[in-house]
């Protein structure tokens, strides 16, 4: 077992890379590289890419996670079912191993991919929050346009056997439960997973596996600057005629302010901001599954699973 340090990207296939790139630019990502057969999009942080689309029939292929070191890749390659360490023959290079998860998603673990200069952010203002006054003399004036994504934050996988997937991701990659969601018998039926950062504070969840009849991508989530960015991004995607999925609202578990959209293939992507960060000192939560996906404010989960119109 290794402890992955973060999600790196997710990999898709599409017959129309132009269409995907046009959407992702409106969503707030930037072209990092494009070849004849694939598109690599980045966010404003240093990661070379946070979204990969290969040319092909529409598909979600799987997530990629960062290993802490090349030594971890070598150690992990000895595990049953894991590929040998291979050079990544793609822009950004680096090394990786691959393993197939219980639903057939191809999971990559990567290390040494090129890091890039950060891109400029915009619309960054301190907030005045009750007695915590941080913005003295600075006026909020916001630029319209795409909400620039900072980084990829988490992925939700729809899985056909929660226990098998939970064991797979926990035992291979070191994920730990931040919150368990239980049925009326007290049995855990899904769980929010964070990376095991020990004392270091990390996102409340990097991975969520949700039991469903059909396996697939639940959604892929990108952090944006703040609540202004969530709204400005929403208005921009709406003005471009893209299909909205769910939001704007504030989750209970993880506390993110969220807004979900459909990409041109019908896969959900999320803008979020202001999520909870936890470390090993924060006790795991247990929540009734029936209310786990309710909101603290905003649009409720009734339309959470609706398909693209």
The gap from C-alpha 103 to its chain's centroid, in whole angstroms, comes to 19
Least distance to Fe ion from the beta carbon of 127, Å? 22
Least distance to Fe ion from the beta carbon of 219, Å? 6
What's the rounded Cα separation, in Å, for the pair 210 and 160? 8
**Which range of residues in 24-32, 43-51, 221-229, 297-305 is near Fe ion by CB under 5 A?**
221-229
What's the rounded Cα separation, in Å, for the pair 80 and 62? 19
Give the nearer residue to Fe ion in terms of CB position, either 226 or 270.
Answer: 270
Residues 6+ apart with CB under 8 A from 249: 257, 258, 295, 296, 297, 298, 299, 300
**Which range of residues in 55-63, 189-197, 214-222, 291-299 is near Fe ion by CB under 5 A?**
214-222
* Structure token pair of residue 259: 């807004």
**Which range of residues in 77-85, 168-176, 217-225, 278-286 is near Fe ion by CB under 5 A?**
217-225
- CA-to-CA separations, 270 to 137, 190, 204, 249, 263, in angstroms, rounded: 33, 20, 16, 12, 10
**Which range of residues in 14-22, 57-65, 78-86, 216-224 is near Fe ion by CB under 5 A?**
216-224
Least distance to Fe ion from the beta carbon of 270, Å? 5
Least distance to Fe ion from the beta carbon of 7, Å? 12
Least distance to Fe ion from the beta carbon of 156, Å? 6
The site map against Fe ion for 26-65 (x = CB under 5 A) is ----------------------------------------
Give the nearer residue to Fe ion in terms of CB position, either 95 or 271.
Answer: 271
Indicate whether 221 belongs to the interface with Fe ion (CB under 5 A). yes
* Structure token pair of residue 198: 């020990």
**Which range of residues in 20-28, 110-118, 135-143, 213-221 is near Fe ion by CB under 5 A?**
213-221
Give the nearer residue to Fe ion in terms of CB position, either 34 or 304.
Answer: 304
Give the nearer residue to Fe ion in terms of CB position, either 20 or 207.
Answer: 207
| Binding to Fe ion, residues 234-293 (CB under 5 A) | 270
- Largest pairwise CA distance in the chain: 60
Give the nearer residue to Fe ion in terms of CB position, either 207 or 221.
Answer: 221
Query: Residues touching Fe ion: how many (CB under 5 A)?
Result: 2
Least distance to Fe ion from the beta carbon of 153, Å? 8
What's the rounded Cα separation, in Å, for the pair 164 and 155? 17
> Residue holding tokens 């994920």?
175
Sign of the C-alpha dihedral computed for residues 227, 201, 171 and 11 taken in this order: positive
Least distance to Fe ion from the beta carbon of 275, Å? 9
- CA-to-CA separations, 278 to 157, 170, 270, in angstroms, rounded: 21, 17, 21
Residues 6+ apart with CB under 8 A from 137: none
What's the rounded Cα separation, in Å, for the pair 92 and 89? 9
Give the nearer residue to Fe ion in terms of CB position, either 79 or 306.
Answer: 306
What is the 8-class DSSP label of residue 82? Answer: P
Q: Which residue is nearest to Fe ion (CB)?
A: 221
Residues 6+ apart with CB under 8 A from 186: none
Interacting residues toward Fe ion by CB under 5 A: 221, 270
């Amino acid at each position: 077992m290794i402890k992955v340090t973060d999600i790196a990207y997710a990999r898709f296939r599409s017959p129309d890379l132009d269409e995907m790139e046009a959407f992702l630019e409106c969503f707030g990502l930037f072209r990092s590289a494009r070849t004849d057969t694939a598109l690599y999009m980045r966010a404003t942080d240093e990661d070379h890419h946070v979204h990969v689309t290969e040319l092909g029939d529409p598909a979600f292929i799987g997530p990629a996670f960062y290993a802490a070191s090349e030594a971890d890749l070598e150690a992990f390659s000895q595990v049953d079912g894991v590929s040998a360490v291979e050079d990544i023959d793609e822009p950004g290079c680096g090394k990786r191993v691959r393993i197939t998860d219980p639903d057939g998603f191809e999971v990559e673990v990567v290390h040494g991919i090129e890091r890039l200069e950060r891109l400029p952010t915009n619309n960054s203002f301190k907030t005045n929050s009750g007695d915590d006054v941080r913005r003295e003399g600075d006026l909020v004036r916001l630029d319209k346009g795409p909400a620039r994504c900072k980084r990829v934050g988490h992925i939700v996988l729809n899985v056909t056997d929660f226990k098998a997937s939970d064991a797979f991701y926990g035992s291979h990659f070191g994920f730990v439960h931040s919150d368990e969601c239980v049925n009326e018998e007290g049995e855990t039926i899904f769980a929010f997973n964070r990376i095991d950062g020990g004392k270091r504070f990390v996102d409340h969840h990097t991975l969520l596996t949700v039991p469903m009849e059909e396996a697939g991508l639940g959604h892929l989530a990108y952090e944006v600057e703040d609540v202004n960015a969530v709204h400005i991004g929403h208005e921009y995607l709406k003005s471009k005629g893209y299909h909205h999925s769910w939001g704007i609202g504030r989750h209970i578990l993880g506390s993110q302010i969220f807004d979900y959209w459909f990409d041109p293939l019908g896969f959900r992507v999320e803008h979020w901001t202001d999520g909870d960060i936890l470390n090993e000192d924060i006790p795991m939560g247990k929540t009734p599954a029936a209310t786990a996906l309710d909101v603290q404010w905003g649009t409720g989960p009734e339309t959470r699973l609706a398909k693209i119109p």
